[in-house]
Amino acid sequence: MTATPRQKRAAKITAEEAASLVKSGMWLDFGVTLSQPDVFDHALAARAAELSEVKVRSCLSVKPRAYLEVDPNGDHFHAFNWHFGGYDRAKHDAGRCTYIPLNLGEVPDYYRRFIDAVDIAVIKTCPRDENGVYNFGPTNAWHRAIVETAKIVVVETSPAMPYVFGEHNGVHESEVDYVIDGNDSATAELHNAPMSDVDRTVARLMAGEIEDGSCIQIGIGAMPNAACSLLSESGIKDLGVHTEMLTDGIIDLVKAGRVTGARKQLNPGKVVFTFALGSKYLYDAITRNPEMQCFPVDYTNMPHIIMQNDKMVSINNTTQIDLQGQAASESDGHRHLTGTGGQLQFVRGAYASKGGKSFMLLSSTYERKGVRKSRIVLDLTPGNIVTTPRSDVMYVVTEYGMVNLKAKSVADRAKALISLAHPDFREDLARDARARNIIPKGFV
């Protein structure tokens, strides 16, 4: 699929004029996280009564979307999402949003090979710079692929968008059809969840396995954030960062002097990511900072690239794991919660790295309606999606310890995982495992 030839300079239009380009049945693309448009979104919502079957692709919404708020029954718009945030999850529960399965690093290829319809792309960017480029800010992801394949490209500029350096992190004015002046509302923030004692215990166990010169990927959540906090206070040296998501915790590591990138094989001295999402503290740290580099997701997330950094360490959460080691990290039965994201790709890339390791972090229990339940289970909740297969899971860590599942038999895996469960559940897990021959009779 080739790019549509553009005019030499984009035309300035209003959000209302841009929304008037939308026809019933069209496919729109709104980009990823902070790059989803605001003034265009409201202008589109204002046209709801005139439109039907308009389909909108986006990823991880950081604020309510006007086009969905005005259309509670789905008479006019349909939302398709590559990864859920809290708002997307609520809209999915209400029947207004559906998930698109993926490996995140493959998405640029999906646009170039498999997605036939991007009628209009609307991406929020920084204002045009001195080189005629509209910088994508803290989110690169697959925006280049959208620009290359869309029939019409619209940028909505925001002076509040942090300007971030990086490979292919912007679109030249010659590739843009229309420009909308956006508002200057503050960039949406995602604050860290408070850390519990369990989070700190899990992080401490895992952090002890990280060596000087390791290159890390950190996922979202309180446990990875706790890991960053512990590493910041440690004596570890020369960490590198090659990650999907850049978080406040990684900035803490940089400011503590733990991250130098000096031993990285790829992009030495640079912190590499595909999107940043956090607080103003994070955005201030990356704005026009040449050490912070925002790359397309097919560079950050593809295993054959990840593995090129030695001692690659992947640190992710999961919500449930069965006794064979299958990690379900994105759903609660048939209720979709988040998405596959880059978890599996980083697990595989880290394993293939020289001296690499991957960690799956979870608390041993959770509470629902006042009832405590085990996250380590005989069988996954019916309908649960396996994010990382048993053959790929390496280290599993709870507050009760850490085990490495590589090269372990099914029976040995089950015994190891039972040792990580809360003591109140171990006896039942062991009995059920033996009853189903997961741990054979007579196996010690």
- Phi first, then psi, for residue 249 (nearest 5°) are -60, -35
Would you please indicate which residues are annotated as catalytic (active-site) residues? Answer: 244
Cα–Cα distance, 175 to 244 (Å, whole number): 26
Cα–Cα distance, 414 to 418 (Å, whole number): 6
Rg (CA), the chain: 23
Q: For residue 221, which amino acid is it?
A: G
Q: Are 92 and 84 in contact (CB under 8 A)?
A: yes
Strand partners, 374: 365
